Structure 1
């Protein structure tokens, strides 16, 4: 059932006028408010389109209680900020494409919509039109056989204007984001149909292009390769006119869409070529293109997202656009870390009130340590790093795990830049690691520590850990140099990663006999799933009964990696599915699948996700644990944090681990 919706529009540019015209022809929408940074512009727009209220700010539209949904028509770089603020204001959101500048910002917008339970859709109006639905149906019926090639173009010659939005790097200019996003969305849609899905992600993205003097893409072509043998050829630009059509080739014919992006009201046509014949397929639609888009929002309001452009579809589209830009070297000013002190919502970073995090203590570390530790092992670019770490900090997280070898140093540099930009050094706990094999010696420990401190832009680490052990070196040599570095102020405490319990005991005895500091924490693997084979050479687990008994007896803190067994409890692991060789090699065993079954049973009873139970197993041990998590997406961070609210009894711990 469709809802009647009162709309507000943020922005008064060309696309805002186009949407307002469509809204006037919709079945469900009424324009009640418009906002602009210029009150005069808002008044002119409001008078033209009959808005009840015209405001000289976007905030005023969001504060208007009559407004139920907003259309965000600002320039690209402002989309994320105002979409997040609209979600916080409880407004349903239709955001002009591209939804944000990049995939990372899109994650932040979607998380805001999820958190505040509002509708959100990226405004690809052609996806809502009957022509696209007819195309989907024809392809699903196999009208051209097996789909093999998609050709899509959307390009125009705007004339070079270095001062204009389209040519401005700071405004997210260039063809890829402005209109190339349409081509990508069509290719992914068609490839999805070919593979029996709603959409499909490319395996490979290659591209060539002309990047002009203003550092935006002026024209560019991309080649995409998808699963199932589907390939796509895409062309977009702002400085050359294109044919602006779509052709789809299959094993038994091809379809041409003469007006894929702006299908007109009334009749549109698809051209089907088979053998030597051409057939016109007429699609009738009385709906206004943009009015129909507004009606789509109303129709799917309760579901909070529409199948025409779901959240997952938007994220995949943005990720492909990122890859296209990367292939030709286009980076926006907003994606560079220099002087970026604010979050995506353009506000200072702070912990959200009533954040769910729990904290513990480590000897020698004065700050409380968050029970979930953010692994910084994959953040090598500012856009992704800042969004992921901001979100973790807002949720109450304050401990970050990194290492000298991660990303060839890029991960340490990104973490250090983030801490500096946000001004957080005394509010966060930095856990660094070094002296990884084959450089596991006291000499290399000192060399790498100095480099790490420089990368991290700090003069000390809260916790330092040896990343590996070297049994050929007596423990005393390691303990001596660690104590020297601690006394020099370069670390507050230290521990060991992937050291055997026996070597840790030996090292701490040696230190105690000489009145020196010993290890305060161990970072070995620990999870409900037994590590069948080491994930990497030199990895050591502490999940066995003897290690658990020692940890319980001594109260030694454990900061375990792969605490969720690298996705074993996410639904990826099935006895018959051997597609992920590493998952199979490290975690597949009869006893682990028995544990998985029990996790699923308890999760169903508790009404939580299986991974919440698996992570709660680590958190609820009788010794202090600070599990490391390695989310690649904000949704993974969110679902990991849900484990903090799951309490497991000693009996449940034993039952899950097959010890009943």
Structure 2
């Protein structure tokens, strides 16, 4: 028996508690509401044994109860992330009512917390747990309707706008998409995946329309529709509404017939009963499958979760972490397409030193980050893994990644004037986050500029001024020329950089994609004039040697001569593409040639031998090959730092594991093919 605590005493919590009474997998031992009387009434109504559940007047009190093993969270959407994280940190397994968070960024935070806590976290899509859904997937896998071509799904209900209602207040993330639109999205992704023998699939295209209602706190969606195209040319038409009724059904069109599920979300309902799936062929009903249940859908949900706790993983067809993350990412796209955002999404990213979960941001006790020194930068150490700021599309997504990076001990951010090509979007988002968190003086800020065709001293001055304005600061800590221009004498660059340094715009500088010969020439000139020279180089370096430049004008420091010269000169290297853009992961292989850039830049017999050796050493050390590749970069005989560009918290965590690997000189040489035998 799994001992359950329920946070929130509303209708959905009552439905789940009623489901618990129908199962022998769990027992309700506690309930919490901010209204003590409401908590007591809920406990009396839903107690399963002669001993009624404890009633708590605060959620924190329930989390402190050692008898509670698992928590069901039935609060408004805006409260889900905060209490999910707090429950996980209290050592509880968590079943959180959908949506798990307001957006993909919040879901990333929740699942990272679950992984570190070693607890099961599942988003509560009850329809995924019932026999009806299992039967539907069985029919699809058996080819009952041939190839899946079209999906039509809706979940709508009618309600009247009311101030303070969770459905009709933007401050509570109301509207249809998050509340019930998530069901059709999750079903379409599930079916499109099963059609290709995958757990789920992501849409390649999305178009949407909707109607917004202006509540006192902002807009919510009264209704919305979306058309999505999935791999295999599968098209889904989805609809959701909170202001009008529509038949709730699921229709799946195939090359040999169509399946219709009249009640896709509730099946037989909250009690034992029957539901059906219908097959239509040539526009006529050809067959009906009746699915009998011995308990209600919330009981099945509780059982699936209890089994997941026992197994330590969420089994299909329940929502896996990757499935939930993908679902929220699609809903982000749907809302963006109709111009819908919620006040809390902006507020949560701007609340001082609190994370999106509303909890203090601080370096964790288990943080792995190590640091190094860059000549000329005084008073600050530089984290060996540097956060690249070039792919964060929204402030919530950026805040989730940046906050997590700080908690892992990271302190250095790399950005550039040219990133995004949309008026400095990445720099602007970083500037907003830095201002909100109030940690500008605690981090190392790298600015880059003078990219071709603006690679001149004047171009550098202009772009630096614009970058600092976007970043909402009067100085960077380090400045890097993004490209070299051999037509400009090095003396002109050195003079201009020293001029900006004396103005307090940065402490030290370097060059990205500069040849070592030009850097040495620049430093010789600086020494002759009593000026500061280049302290760092920002060129490519990875265990896999770059076979062709990723972009025009790119320079690698991967050859032995360059690495020897870096060590001799004492220059720091900020290595980009240090993990060879996925070459050491499942994405690469002699037979995998879909990624043209990966093939062009990294595929060679020597690199595949390096990859094989990294895999062998990784197996011996209990890590991944990509961790070995990163450790090789950081293990050079000169100060080496790696620029990482994670798109998710999981990717950041994966990069961090490279810091746990220490390679011997023999292993370093063996990995690079300098020695053909075993490193042992």
- Which TM-score bucket, shorter chain as reference? over 0.9
Superposed CA deviations along residues 382-404 of structure 1, whole A, max 9, x for unmatched, are 11000000001000000010101
Give per-residue Cα distances to partners, 1:270-294, cap 9 Å, x unaligned: 1111123432210111122101101
Aligned equivalent of 1:148: 149
Match of 1:372 in 2: 385
Q: Offset of 1:361 from its aligned partner? A: 1.0
Q: Distance in 1 between matches of 2:567 and 2:295?
A: 68
Find the counterpart in structure 1 of residue 134 from structure 2.
133
Question: What CA deviation, in whole Å up to 9, does each residue of 1:335-367 have, x standing for no partner?
Answer: 226743220221221111241110111122221
After TM superposition, the structure 1 = structure 2 runs for residues 572-611 of structure 1, keeping only pairs within 5 Å, are 572-611=587-626
Q: CA offset at residue 146 of structure 1?
A: 0.7
TM-score, length basis structure 2: 0.95
The equivalent of 1:638 in structure 2 is 653
Q: How many angstroms apart in 2 are the aligned matches of 1:182 and 1:170? A: 22
CA–CA distance in 1 between the matches of 2:93 and 2:415? 38
For residues 292 and 45 of structure 2, what CA distance do their matches in structure 1 show? 30
- 1:380-429 deviation per Cα after TM superposition (whole angstroms, max 9, x unaligned): 31110000000010000000101011123111111111111111111100
Question: C-alpha deviations, 1:227-280, integer Å up to 9, x for none?
Answer: 112110000011111111000000011011011101123211111111234322
Deviation at 1:31, TM superposition (A): 0.5
Q: Does 1:278 align with 2:278?
A: no
Q: Name the counterpart of 1:527.
A: 542
Which of the numbers 260, 276, 296 marks the counterpart of 1:288? Answer: 296
Q: How much does 1:576 deviate? A: 1.2
1:352 aligns with 2:367: no
Who is 1:492 aligned against?
A: 507
SS at match of 2:66: coil
In the alignment, the residues of structure 2 paired with residue 448 and residue 169 of structure 1 have an alpha-carbon distance, to the nearest angstrom, of 39
Measured after TM superposition, the shift of residue 626 of structure 1 is 1.0
Alignment of 1:433-512 (within 5 A): 433-512=448-527
Contact persistence 2:356–2:396 (CA under 8 A)? no
Written as runs of structure 1 = structure 2, the 5 A alignment for 1:49-128 is 49-50=46-47, 51-128=52-129
Partner of 2:265: 261
Could you say which residue in structure 2 is the equivalent of 1:627?
642
Residue aligning to 1:321:
331
CA distance in 2, matches of 1:543, 1:222: 48
Residue-by-residue CA offset, 1:93-149 (whole Å, 9 max, x unaligned): 101001110001101100000001001111000000000000000010000111100
Contact 2:543–2:632 at 8 Å: present in 1 too?
Answer: yes
Deviation per CA, 1:413-454, whole angstroms, max 9, x where unpaired? 111111111111111000110010011111111111111111
Q: Which residue of 2 aligns with 1:403?
A: 416
Kept in 1: contact 2:538–2:574 (CA 8 A): yes
Are residues 1:299 and 2:307 paired?
yes
Instruction: Output the CA distance in 1 between the equivalents of 2:228 and 2:366.
Output: 44
Determine if the alignment matches structure 1 residue 363 to structure 2 residue 375.
yes
Contact 2:389 2:414 in 1 (8 A): yes
Q: Is the 8 A contact 2:278 2:285 kept in 1?
A: no
Aligned to 2:398: 385
Q: Distance in 1 between matches of 2:194 and 2:658?
A: 36
**By how many angstroms is 1:303 displaced?**
2.3
Give the conservation status (yes or no) of the 8 Å contact 2:259–2:279: yes
Shift of residue 74, structure 1, vs aligned partner: 0.8
Cα distance between partner residues in 1 of 2:279 and 2:407: 53
1:41 to 17, 35, 38: 38
Alignment match, 2:678 = none
CA distance in 1, matches of 2:418, 2:87: 41
Given that residues 6 and 29 in structure 1 are in contact (C-alpha distance below 8 angstroms), is that contact kept between their aligned partners in structure 2? yes
Cα separation, 1, equivalents of 2:188 and 2:612: 39
Q: 2:237 aligns with which of 230, 233, 238?
A: 233
Within 5 A, what are the aligned runs for 1:22-37?
22-37=19-34
Are the counterparts in 2 of residues 118 and 304 from structure 1 also a CA contact under 8 Å?
no
The number of aligned residues is 657
- Structure 2: how far apart are the matches of 1:493 and 1:43? 64
Question: Alignment partner of 2:608: what SS?
Answer: helix
Distance 2:326 2:629 in 1: 28
CA contact (8 A) 2:220 2:340 kept: yes
Q: Deviations over 1:203-235 (max 9, x none)?
A: 111101111223111101100100112110000
Q: Cα RMSD between the aligned structures?
A: 1.1
- What secondary structure, in the 3-state scheme, does the structure 1 residue paired with 2:585 have? helix
Q: Could you tell me how far apart the structure 2 residues matched to 1:385 and 1:36 are?
A: 33
Contact 1:117 1:304 in 2 (8 A): no
Query: Is the Cα contact below 8 Å between 2:522 and 2:533 reproduced in 1?
Result: yes
Find the aligned partners of 2:505 and 2:203 in 1 and give their Cα distance.
45
Instruction: For 1:388 and 1:543, locate their aligned partners in 2 and report how far apart those are by CA, in whole Å.
Output: 29
TM-score scaled by structure 1? 0.98
1:549 is matched with which residue?
564
Structure 1: stretches of 5+ with no match in the other structure: none
Equivalent position to 2:225, from 217, 221, 224: 221
The answer to whether the 8 Å contact 2:579/2:626 transfers is yes
Instruction: Check conservation: 1:27, 1:291, Cα contact below 8 A.
Output: no
C-alpha separation in 1, matches of 2:36 and 2:382: 48
1:251 matched to 2:263? The reply is no
